[in-house]
Amino acid sequence: MFRKEILIILAVVILFGVSLARAVDVEFRSDATIGNGDVYDWVYVYDTPPDYTVVDMYDGSVFVFVTYDSSTVNIYGGELEWGIVAYELSTVNIYDGTILIDNPLFGDSSTVNIYGGHIRLGAPSFDDFATLNIYGYDFNYNGFTLTGFLSDDSPFEFIEIYPSDYSHINLIPEPASVLLFALAGLFLRKRN
């Protein structure tokens, strides 16, 4: 009986220890892919001139992306658990995935493009000429909260968007909405 209890305790300790394993920090200076089973804390992305670095994320988990130079990060899936810190001329494109971004920093002349995914964004900080482009429709801004739908029809709510930050945000209607506006304009023009 005593031996069985020790084995159970040992198994619990081993499983508990494995579940507490933290991800590692990683630095990419050349093209890379993040996929199923990849778990990273801080991911730093740099260029190695004259080449540009592109990191594609299809699955896996990242705590924070930090981008520099003219690097590009494309997020097609997976989970971004906390944030984005974008510097210089870097670009982050979000197409899908579960994206939780608290207090992101968009610095220098960086660009973040959001096309789709399950996204929660709060309290962004913008420096210099940084830009956040949101592709979607039914945008509504009430002074501190921006809501609407992304190009993939996912609803979004971005909180703590201050009026001073709003000048860095571009709301870009998805193509079907632009076509609807154009057709409405033609219809109104013909009626006059």
Q: Which of 9-13, 72-76, 171-175 has the lowest mean pLDDT?
A: 9-13
d(CA 79, CA 91): 18
Q: 122: buried, middle or exposed (CB in 10 Å: 19+, 13-18, 0-12)?
A: middle
Would you state the pLDDT for residue 49? 86
Residue 29 Cα distances to 15, 32, 78, 79, 108, angstroms: 35, 9, 21, 22, 20
Domain that holds residue 89: 20-191
In the structure encoding, which two tokens stand for residue 64, read together?
Answer: 């924070």
Evaluate whether residue 157 is within a structural domain.
yes
Give the residue among 84, 137, 136, 138 at the shortest CA–CA distance from 111: 84
Evaluate whether residue 7 is within a structural domain.
no
Evaluate whether residue 13 is within a structural domain.
no
CA contacts within 13 A on the Cβ side of 45? 32
Tell me the average pLDDT across 28-49.
Answer: 96
Q: How many helices (H) and strands (E) does the chain have?
A: 3, 17
Percentage, residues of the chain above pLDDT 90: 70
Would you state the pLDDT for residue 20? 45
Evaluate whether residue 33 is within a structural domain.
yes
Mean pLDDT of the chain: 86
The answer to whether residue 180 scores a pLDDT higher than 90 is no
d(CA 117, CA 105): 20
Evaluate whether residue 30 is within a structural domain.
yes
Evaluate whether residue 2 is within a structural domain.
no
Backbone φ and ψ for 134, nearest 5 degrees, come out as -115, 120
Evaluate whether residue 11 is within a structural domain.
no
Tell me the average pLDDT across 73-83.
Answer: 96
Would you state the pLDDT for residue 74? 98
The answer to whether residue 93 scores a pLDDT higher than 80 is yes
pLDDT band for position 23 (cuts 50, 70, 90): confident
pLDDT 10s digits, 99-108: 999 999 999 9
Would you state the pLDDT for residue 174? 79
The answer to whether residue 60 scores a pLDDT higher than 70 is yes
Would you state the pLDDT for residue 163? 84
Q: Are strands 79-86 and 61-67 parallel, antiparallel or unpaired?
A: parallel
Domain total of the chain: 1
